[in-house]
Amino acid sequence: MMLATSTLLARFQHPAQVVAAGFATAIGIGTLLLSLPAATAEGVSTGWLNALFTAASAVCVTGLVLVDTEAHWSVFGEVVIAGLAQVGGLGIMTMATVFTLLVSGRLGLRARIAAQTETKSLSMSDVRRLVLKVVVFSLSCEAVAAAVLTGRFVLGYGESFGRALYLGVFHGVTAFNSAGFALWPDSLMRFVADPWICMTIAIAAIVGGLGFPVVFELARLWRQPSKWTVLTRITVGTSVILLTFGTLVFLATEWRNPATLGGLDDGNKLMAAFFTAVMPRSAGFNVLDVAQMYPSSWLATDLLMFIGGGSAGTAGGIKVTTFGMLAFIVWTEMRGESRVNIGRRRLPETTQRQVVTITVLGVTLVAISTYVLLALTPYGLDQVLFEVISAFGTTGLSTGITADLGTAGHTLLAVLMFIGRIGPLTLGSALALNRRTRRYELPEERVIVG
């Protein structure tokens, strides 16, 4: 009896269960708070689905909405949304960083993390210092972004200091945490030609999406790339490639589109295209009308949203590290080599299997969800696929159909946001921390592939 109880308790302490329970609890509390009459501008209780969807979107730092954030919610409701985004962003940053260190084996923990797993562990004082660094780093970045935005709203738009500070703090929090909530019905489209607003939001999203370990390693070793870890090399390299790819694609595709880039001068076109390439990392703001983009731009955005941002950061998706390692695996196989090497390091076979598993499961989930949503709604494949990947990648971009998907569609998107937020992290940690040694090997048999 004691053994069974101990085993059950140990299973509950598995990282995947702790993360899922924590985020589910935060969503539940957020739903209750947003259901209060005080949370709406009209002073009446909002529907449970709207409250649940908004809470899930905020905690999972997505930004998909069913109603106009500023018009529907009161100041109390907006503060709750920002608070939930803060909790979701800090929670992911903290948990993901701790798991990264556990998996890397650089630190240790004097208690078991899972029922059958012992790590080389870190002391509780190390964990406290680590969490404190993450919190200080996050709040500092948000404060800088809020200060710049506040100054711009006061000096450039004539807002009172109190209103400007409120706008600056709200958007500083949602930008760094990749939440995508904005207090204007057109998101940030009215600021498409304002570099102070656009670049501040974009930089905050990039920094938050890189991940705590990468940012701090860059701060220490930015002049010594040869000493960067594989994580930092892949994250930085892949991020630069994807941002460049996205910017060039949006420039080429939307250059003459009168509803998007067509009406801007060349400098603002470049800035808007760059901003639009940054947002699919999972930040979710937009300065161009997504609904008016060409389908080819939607497809490029789908790809960027599915990949997402860096590991141990606020961004969603399968992560740029997963995508980068997958590219190395494919390239190695095409060259006929037996080992995957990145720089001067060899990628373990266990990591290769984790990369393939996360990617395949992500593709499968998106495919199944797209099929279900197509069956439930009258919309076409382009729009439905965009919506599904936006929810799975916790991005928050939309072609404008979110509010019209019905109860079943909204429930599906809420579940996708939850899975997309905790899925890659919990799956990655579970795969890395649960290694079982097989005591025998079966006979090998060659199978035709292709």
Task: Please indicate, yes or no, if residue 3 is contained in any of the structural domains.
Answer: no
Q: Any idea what DSSP says for residue 283?
A: T
Q: What is the pLDDT of residue 313?
A: 75
Boundaries of domain holding 188 = 14-433
Task: Please indicate, yes or no, if residue 136 is contained in any of the structural domains.
Answer: yes
Q: What is the pLDDT of residue 222?
A: 85
Q: What is the pLDDT of residue 122?
A: 42
Q: What is the pLDDT of residue 169?
A: 97
Could you give the CA distance from residue 131 to residue 137 in angstroms, rounded to a whole number? 10
pTM of the model as a whole: 0.86
Asked if residues 284 and 295 have their Cβ atoms less than 8 Å apart, the reply is no
Q: CA angle, corner 58, sides to 57 and 59, nearest 5?
A: 100
Q: Is 76 helix (H, G, I), strand (E, B) or coil?
A: helix
Task: Please indicate, yes or no, if residue 25 is contained in any of the structural domains.
Answer: yes
Q: What is the pLDDT of residue 120?
A: 29
Q: What is the pLDDT of residue 62?
A: 92
Domain total of the chain: 1
Asked if residues 235 and 211 have their Cβ atoms less than 8 Å apart, the reply is yes
Q: How far is CA 242 from the centre of its chain?
A: 15
Task: Please indicate, yes or no, if residue 442 is contained in any of the structural domains.
Answer: no
Asked if residues 324 and 237 have their Cβ atoms less than 8 Å apart, the reply is yes
Task: Please indicate, yes or no, if residue 439 is contained in any of the structural domains.
Answer: no
Could you give the CA distance from residue 436 to residue 119 in angstroms, rounded to a whole number? 13
Task: Please indicate, yes or no, if residue 404 is contained in any of the structural domains.
Answer: yes
Task: Please indicate, yes or no, if residue 90 is contained in any of the structural domains.
Answer: yes
Phi, psi (degrees; rounded to nearest 5) at 45: -65, 135
Asked if residues 260 and 292 have their Cβ atoms less than 8 Å apart, the reply is yes
Q: What is the pLDDT of residue 162?
A: 96
Task: Please indicate, yes or no, if residue 5 is contained in any of the structural domains.
Answer: no
For 115, the token pair is 């029922």
Q: What is the pLDDT of residue 437?
A: 62
Bridge partners (DSSP) of residue 341 are: 346
Query: Splitting the chain (450 residues) into consecutive groups of 10 residues, what average pLDDT does each group show?
Result: 41 60 88 95 92 95 93 95 90 59 46 30 55 84 97 96 97 94 94 96 93 86 86 92 96 95 94 96 92 96 94 83 92 87 84 87 93 95 96 94 94 92 64 60 73
Q: What is the pLDDT of residue 211?
A: 82
Bridge partners (DSSP) of residue 342 are: 345
Q: What is the pLDDT of residue 6?
A: 42
Could you give the CA distance from residue 73 to residue 281 in angstroms, rounded to a whole number? 27
